[in-house]
A = this chain, B = another copy of it.
């Protein structure tokens, strides 16, 4: 029993979705989720079934959103407390996150920012403390930060990433276009624009021909067609 990664990613997103949803109590059906996400209803049912049954509200009525999202979080090891993240690199892009509201709904907390430029650290304002980069080694372990958002200039990407790993970071969201050669105990999610565009172009180039008769919807790169 091991949850496949694609399934895990879908479930993570689903949990997030359920928590943002209105109607906290009214049951959610696999068909409704299909409408929201574009993932086929059987995909969703299969995914959910993989985390062990017992999430259906009665039998035919759908899932209990509350219970389902809890089950997902447990199964994925998303323990109760919010996960601590830091943002590294406070340039144009990085500083955009300082006022990004999206973190509130989520189970992640942005709780520190770093930049090698001390000026920036002093000028910028945020709801959480900002530090000069040389303090990473002290601050990151102390605050129990496991995730980092990397938004430094490309030239500094690799060395900064390595430093982050030394500080105990286990997951990096990499906004630079640079490939990070890190031990695979660390997970890296590549989100540079160019990279995203390249993926799009690549997929469009090989777009399969089995379009079939369907005007259903899709919504995520995980819809592997």
A-to-B contact residues, CB < 8 Å: 2-5, 8-9, 11-13, 16-17, 35-38, 76-78, 83, 85, 92-93, 95-97, 99-100, 102-103, 105-106, 108, 147, 149, 154, 170-173, 177, 179-208, 211, 215-221, 223-225
Contacts and interface: CB of A to CB of B under 8 A. Distances in A.
B202 A9 contact: yes
Contact of A9 (B11, B17, B199, B215): B199
Given A13-B198, A16-B198, A201-B78, A173 B189 contact: no
Given A102-B193, A194-B102, A200-B147, A184 B9 contact: no
Number of copies: 2
Given A147-B200, A190-B220, 5 more contacts: A8-B206, A17-B179, A38-B181, A182-B217, A187-B200
A108 B8 contact: no
